[in-house]
């Protein structure tokens, strides 16, 4: 490849880690999850290093629209590492060169276990071709100015995992994140991450090792660091439910996939939702990504106020600006209702279940999905639209009273 650089001029692993501020609390790369406004929200509550969403190197290289939709940053978004997936050196190099002056490092995803990764040959499915993994790290490191890092899952066999980690270090990776689950273990609630493997990797390497897996609450972080001896902890799922995770919040918002908190947690959920919407006004992102985050932040309120859930599932044809203004008004009303709420025994039982040691914690099942819920907001909106159309078609002189809704597009 043209443009190869002097890799000896790059900092070693711990020099690089120190240049980042020796961070302990890391926000993981998450597709449609770790975009700029979410990263900034996490930074307000203790995140010390954040990753961009995983981006497909070949799409990033070829399509300006994909770049615009998936990558944004500014001077306040530091330190930040951009993560790419791919299986061709030329794609990774070309993509990385486009943004190497805007980020602190490029991370290669070797951990994604999803079907798209299998069909397109990237992520954890490159673990079937370790020589290619090493080539990707080596060639990328030789052709960009900034450090290269990597994120992996583990093999069922410990020795195989240690060999992979050592080979990636020799290829030029300056930092390695180890998700302590195998490629087949996709659901975090169904499989505990193996901290013993992470500890073994840390003992085996001479570069910083980041532990990933089994973090549900703030208390778990130090337990993980003490057990694995890792240099930092990375969180994904727990941060999606509560970006305040690293600040040791007094009222944590645990996974809404498993539990429904009540009382004071409703106030916290609403306030967090407002704060995220404020971040999106300063650092715009897509409507769909905003909506996904808000469904998580407000999830604990849905049993009490299903209308909030209904609105997030049906925008009634409103423009994004009108929709978010409308949701804010609904949230303000609910916030006034819950300001006097106190702690509850129900929440205490949930926190007690979470409080078990991460390696001894029971495996939690997801709540059953209410796929057949009736969206009352949708019913109400369509009924109002139908009434207005009937009045219009009948040339009725009565005030049509369209309210804030335009006629929805079917």
Per the DSSP assignment, residues forming a β-bridge with 235 are: 27
Cβ atoms of residues 41 and 282 within 8 Å = no
Could you tell me how far CA 315 lies from the centroid of its own chain? 24
3-state secondary structure of 70: helix
Round to whole Å and give the CA distance between 127 and 137.
Answer: 13
Cβ atoms of residues 150 and 29 within 8 Å = no
Round to whole Å and give the CA distance between 295 and 119.
Answer: 29
In 3D space, the residue among 142, 132, 200, 141 whose CA is nearest the CA of residue 166 turns out to be 200
Q: Where are the beta strands (DSSP E) in 11-62?
A: 25-27, 49-56
Through-space distance between the first and last CA atoms of the chain, rounded to whole angstroms: 52
Round to whole Å and give the CA distance between 41 and 335.
Answer: 20
DSSP letter for 288, please: H
Q: Which of 89, 112, 224, 280 is catalytic?
A: 112
Q: What are phi and psi of 279, to 5 degrees?
A: -60, -40
Assess whether 89 carries a catalytic annotation.
no
Tokens matching residue 327? 């949701």
Per the DSSP assignment, residues forming a β-bridge with 25 are: 233
Round to whole Å and give the CA distance between 200 and 204.
Answer: 6
Round to whole Å and give the CA distance between 206 and 73.
Answer: 31
- CA atoms lying within 13 Å on the CB side of residue 342: 1
Residue 378, sorted as left (phi over 0), alpha (psi -120 to 50) or beta, turns out to be alpha
**Is the preceding omega at residue 79 within 30 degrees of 0, hence cis?**
yes
Could you tell me which residues come within 8 angstroms of residue 123 by beta carbon, excluding any fewer than 6 positions away?
Answer: 85, 109, 110, 111, 112, 113, 114, 117
Round to whole Å and give the CA distance between 177 and 2.
Answer: 29
Tokens matching residue 220? 């778990």
Round to whole Å and give the CA distance between 20 and 79.
Answer: 6
Round to whole Å and give the CA distance between 43 and 48.
Answer: 6
Q: Which residues are catalytic?
A: 112
């Amino acid at each position: 490849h043209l443009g190869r650089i002097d890799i000896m001029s790059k900092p070693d692993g711990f020099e690089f880690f120190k240049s980042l501020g020796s961070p302990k609390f890391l926000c993981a790369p998450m597709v449609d999850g770790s975009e700029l406004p979410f990263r900034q929200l996490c930074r307000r509550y203790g995140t010390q290093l954040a990753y961009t969403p995983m981006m497909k190197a070949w799409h990033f290289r070829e399509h300006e629209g994909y770049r615009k939709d998936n990558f944004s940053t500014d001077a306040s978004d530091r330190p930040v590492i951009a993560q790419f997936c791919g299986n061709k050196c030329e794609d990774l190099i070309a993509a990385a060169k486009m943004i190497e002056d805007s980020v602190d490092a490029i991370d290669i995803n070797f951990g994604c276990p999803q079907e798209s990764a299998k069909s397109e040959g990237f992520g954890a499915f490159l673990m079937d071709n370790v020589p290619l993994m090493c080539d990707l790290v080596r060639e990328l490191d030789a052709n960009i100015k900034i450090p290269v890092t990597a994120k992996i899952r583990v093999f069922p066999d410990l020795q195989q995992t240690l060999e992979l980690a050592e080979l990636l270090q020799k290829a030029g990776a300056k930092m390695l994140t180890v998700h302590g689950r195998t490629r087949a273990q996709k659901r975090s609630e169904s499989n505990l991450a193996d901290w013993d493997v992470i500890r073994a990797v840390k003992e085996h390497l001479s570069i910083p090792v980041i532990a990933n897996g089994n973090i549900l609450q703030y208390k778990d972080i130090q337990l993980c660091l003490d057990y694995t001896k890792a240099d930092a902890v990375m969180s994904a799922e727990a941060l999606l439910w509560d970006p305040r995770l690293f600040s040791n919040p007094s009222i944590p918002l645990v996974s809404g996939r498993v539990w429904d908190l009540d009382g004071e947690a409703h106030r916290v959920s609403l306030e967090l939702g407002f704060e995220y919407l404020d971040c999106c006004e300063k650092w715009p992102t897509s409507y769909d990504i905003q909506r996904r985050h808000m469904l998580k932040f407000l999830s604990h309120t849905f049993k009490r106020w299903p209308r909030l859930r209904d609105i997030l599932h049906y925008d009634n044809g409103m423009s994004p600006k009108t929709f978010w203004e409308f949701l804010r008004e609904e949230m303000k009303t609910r916030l006034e209702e819950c300001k006097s709420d106190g702690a509850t025994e129900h929440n205490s039982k949930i926190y007690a279940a979470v409080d078990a040691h991460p390696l001894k914690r029971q495996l939690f099942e997801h709540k059953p999905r209410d796929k057949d819920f009736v969206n009352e907001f949708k019913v109400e909106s369509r009924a109002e639209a139908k009434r207005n159309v009937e009045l219009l078609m009948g040339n009725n002189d009565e005030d049509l009273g369209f309210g804030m809704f335009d006629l929805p597009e079917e």
